[in-house]
Every structure is written in structure tokens, then in C-alpha cells.
Copies of this chain bind each other. A is one copy, B any other.
Amino acid sequence: MTNVDLQKINAVEPEARAGDARAEAFQGVRVARRNELAEDYVELIAELIHNQGEARPVDIATKMGVTAPTVAKTLGRLARDGLITRAKYRSVFLTEEGRALAKECRHRHEIVLRFLIRLGLDPETAEHDAEGIEHHVSERTLALFAAFANRS
């Protein structure tokens, strides 16, 4: 590491500190948003494999409400990021990593959904809101949601 690098670090450090808690929250939200699509895709792919035996792009496109080329490009990124494997003109498979993420996402989705329904929301709206909320729920919040959903 050069002196210049060290200077940079020392120069940047106070600014990172100066950015208040607010900036941190916004940065966290931006990070969460970057993973949203991948999370929804692997969750859906796992579900299709479970229900249909395989995950075909055409079904992903229908369920996600996007066109086939959009799915193709997104699957390219997921493959690049090590979440899926695929061969040309064949259906999609999850990697070990992809399966782990899918499981985690399904779990989160389930808890948020049950929580909202338990709160008194109708199932359709609950499903709708859960699809967005699930990506912005911390471990702590998830635990509280689960406790509420499971209370007697």
C-alpha cells in the first residue's frame, strides 16, 4: 500500500464518519435494492423447480411479468454471479449458493406474509406488499415479525 493510498484512507475516513446515520440508512437501502431482483429470481426459480420439475425461462417471464429477453439478460447476470447454471436452450438450475439464497428468501417471504395476514391484511394485498417489503427487513425486524405471527 502506497503513501498515497494511506493518505486517501485517512482523508476519506472522517467523511464516512461525517455522513450521519441517515446517509448510512440510505446506503443500506441502495444495497438492498441491488439484490432485490436476484432474490426474487432465485426464489421463483426454486419454486418452479419444486412445482413444475424445472425452471423454464418462459415461465419465469410469465410469473415475473417481463419479456423473454429481459429474463435472458437477467439470467446471464445470475449465472455470472454464481447463483444459477444454464446451458443454451435448456432450463435453469440453481447452484448451491443459489439454493441457499432461495431458501433464505422463501423463509423471509413466508414470515413477512404471515405477519401481514396476522395483522389483519387481506391475503392478496399481503402478498403484494410482502413482495416489496421482504427485501428491506433486517434480521431483528424479521424476528419480531415471526414472533408476532406465531403469538397465540
Contacts and interface: CB of A to CB of B under 8 A. Distances in A.
Interface string A101-144: 00000000000000010011110111111011101111011001
Contacts of A129: 136-138, 141
Q: State the copy count for this chain.
A: 2
Contacts of A25: 127-128, 131
B135 A132 contact: yes
Given A26-B64, A65-B26, A136-B136, A124 B19 contact: no
A26 B22 CA distance: 28
Contacts of A133: 133, 136-137
Nearest to A28: B128
A67 to B, nearest CB: 10
Interface residues of A, number: 44
Contact of A116 (B28, B128, B141): B141
Given A22-B63, A133-B136, 8 more contacts: A22-B127, A26-B40, A26-B66, A28-B128, A28-B132, A29-B36, A121-B141, A132-B135
